[in-house]
């Protein structure tokens, strides 16, 4: 996974655990695509201070994920649900019982909402 995307996802998951300033700077950098200079201007600090805050915030996010594994578990769950959906699709394609077909399609619909 690209670091930019990974940090953005981690920020969504763990952002509330960072300081407000760190979370805001990371959000501006990764989600709003502002440059270091633009961020420095907004938060009234130096460009180097922004770089330091980004590095520190990234490190914290990766530490949280290393310990809590929320993103990994979520990705694992999505993969498991995809496997289940594929199996259900095979059953739906082969069943002739309309009641079973309807139930399976409802289950598929609900699982797709989760993924």
Mean pLDDT across the stretch 69-96?
Answer: 92
Mean pLDDT across the stretch 60-76?
Answer: 97
Question: Which residue would you say has higher pLDDT here, 1 or 50?
Answer: 50
Of 3, 11, 1, 13, which Cα lies nearest the Cα of 74? 13
Report the CATH number at residue 50.
1.10.10.10
Q: Does residue 32 sit in the same domain as residue 50? A: yes
Which range of residues forms the domain containing residue 110? 74-114
Q: Does residue 60 sit in the same domain as residue 79? A: no
Sequence-distant (≥ 6) Cβ neighbours of residue 111 within 8 angstroms: 81, 84, 85, 88
Sequence-distant (≥ 6) Cβ neighbours of residue 37 within 8 angstroms: 47
pLDDT at residue 38 tops 80: yes
What's the rounded Cα separation, in Å, for the pair 112 and 46? 46
Please give the mean pLDDT across all residues of the chain.
Answer: 94
Residue with tokens 């501006």: 28
pTM: 0.81
């Amino acid at each position: 996974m690209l670091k930019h995307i990974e940090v953005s996802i981690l920020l969504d998951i763990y952002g509330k655990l960072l300081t407000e300033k760190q979370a805001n700077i990371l959000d501006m950098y990764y989600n709003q695509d502002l440059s270091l200079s633009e961020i420095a201007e907004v938060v009234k600090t130096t460009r180097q201070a922004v770089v330091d805050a980004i590095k520190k915030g990234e490190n914290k996010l990766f530490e949280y994920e290393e310990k809590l594994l929320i993103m990994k578990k979520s990705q694992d769950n999505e993969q498991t649900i995809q496997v289940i959906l594929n199996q259900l699709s095979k059953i739906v394609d082969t069943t002739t019982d309309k009641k079973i077909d309807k139930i399976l399609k409802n289950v598929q619909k609900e699982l797709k909402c989760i993924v």
